[in-house]
Amino acid sequence: MSEEKRNDAVEKKNEEYSLNDDRRVKVLSPGAMVAKRFFRNRIAMVGLFVLIAMFLFSFVGGLISPYGEDQLFYRTDILKKEYASAIQNTEFRYSVAEGQNFPSIIQAKFILAQRQKDASFEYDGKTYTVTEEGKDFYSISIGGTVIGIAYKDVFSVSDQAQKLSFNTAFAGLKAFSNGESAFSADGIDYTLASDGLVSVGDKEFGYISRFVVQPLMSDIFLTREFKDKAIEVMSRNGDRMMFTDRSGKEHEYFFNFDPKTNKWTIREETESRVYDTYSAPSKKHWLGTDRNGMDMLTRLMYGGRVSLMIGFIVEIISTVIGIILGGISGYFGGWVDNLIMRIVDIFYCIPSMPIIIIIGASMDAIGVPPKIRMIYLMLILGILGWPGLARLVRGQILSLREQEFMTATEACGISVNRRIFRHLIPNVIPQLIVSCTMGLGNTIITEATLSFLGLGVKFPFASWGNIINDVNNTFVLTNYWFIWIPAGTLLLLTVLAFNILGDGLRDAFDPKMKR
């Protein structure tokens, strides 16, 4: 090849690689190189996309949800509510005559005398006479004056506003126990039917029966017809009855007998508006409702917001404390370094979980509001979580402060604060980002654990931890999957995504890692 052709080739090559050529090789900045390495990591990108989805779900989803965080939903159910109670009286009851004293010790003495069939007994130097007035009906007197009566059949008035006098009860129970059809008391003549119905003329006054039927609520009035039919059902050990009230409406009642208390419970089927608890997923509630009748999907959105917010705030608090103390310790060294490191050692020795449990129980005892409690939780976790970051910053600064650029800052007379926070700390930022990213997952897990134990975020605020806390028994665990599986899945994906993101950032910041 001739010399001329060789010179033309060299000139052409130099022209192709001229600095003025648009095809020249581009040199990336350090930040761009880190970003390029990170975006090439497919697993890290998956973690990033998952985190973006979680943030959108938690912070945007709560804004577009048609329901509120603590909005309650109701449904109409047919419930068996306790309506009345009844007891078949098998023990003696007592009534005291007006102006007389009939204490419990005298009642006990009477029982002993009645069992031994004694006509009298003595107590405190006095002799008491026991008179059998009729079947299971006795009067107790002293010196010919009746001080009280003992009976098993109960005299109840039809009108609860009317008071039953002692004389009327005495005369009525005596007549009923002897099978009489009439009696008189306080100048009034009463008619007594064989079934125990007591009347004054044509008007019902009350009834006498071994069964005592009483309404559960004071505003309920039980008619004579209802009591008679209930007594008839209980007499044959029935379990239900149909009864038509005075307005013509038919009701169904259910009877349950407890042999331990010798008591009947009467329940009525009524339509009641109750919380729509544990409702299955539907068009209205895509993930059903929880035990409080709240929309599960909305609670998950707000719960994610709380869990993520607590994670970030705790990491910010820990990072700020760790950077300040670690930076000062690493830069100054000497006794300052020893002092700060001993403080770090003390914090490492503190049993964090027992202390958090004790503080949580104390806040329960003094009734700290849920919102203030959440602030305390973030402060406690942040203050207890800084020692690791302080050690990391200290170690990095110990190696960086001997570099040439730090010698140059000292020669230029730059202040200590500026050297630490403008020249040393920025060089530690990559390691801090990795540490904080991976620490976020641990913080969210810690908050979820405390909330699951009832020591973290409290109702009505939601977090993924206290949502899972609804699964407090095997029945809910096995029958209502939509209560705990979605919250557990979101918690798993978020923590896993933070860990993957942290691994990806560590690989991107470390140029020695294999690609």
Query: CA 307: distance to chain centroid?
Result: 17
Q: Where in the chain is the domain with CATH 1.10.3720.10?
A: 30-73+285-509
Q: What is the C-alpha to C-alpha distance for residues 106 and 120, in angstroms, rounded to an integer? A: 11
Q: What is the C-alpha to C-alpha distance for residues 501 and 435, in angstroms, rounded to an integer? A: 11
Q: Is the pTM of this model over 0.75?
A: no
CATH architecture of 30-73+285-509: Orthogonal Bundle (1.10)
Contacts of residues 156-160 at CB distance under 8 Å and 24 or more positions apart, as own/partner, are: 156/206, 156/207, 156/208, 156/209, 156/212, 157/205, 157/206, 158/204, 158/205, 158/206, 158/207, 158/224, 160/221
Q: What is the pLDDT along the chain (515 residues), one digit of tens a residue?
A: 556 656 555 555 555 555 455 545 555 566 777 788 888 888 989 999 999 999 999 999 888 989 988 889 998 887 788 888 888 888 888 999 988 888 999 999 999 998 888 999 998 888 999 999 998 899 999 988 999 999 988 888 877 667 888 999 999 999 999 989 999 998 899 999 887 888 888 888 888 888 878 887 777 777 778 888 888 888 888 888 988 887 888 888 999 988 888 888 989 887 778 888 888 899 999 999 988 889 999 999 999 999 999 989 999 999 999 988 988 888 888 899 899 999 999 988 888 888 888 888 888 888 888 888 888 888 988 898 889 888 988 888 887 777 777 767 767 777 777 777 777 777 787 788 888 888 888 888 888 888 877 778 888 888 888 888 877 778 888 888 888 899 989 999 999 998 898 888 888 876 555 44
Percent of the chain that is helix, strand, coil (3-state, to 5): 50, 20, 30
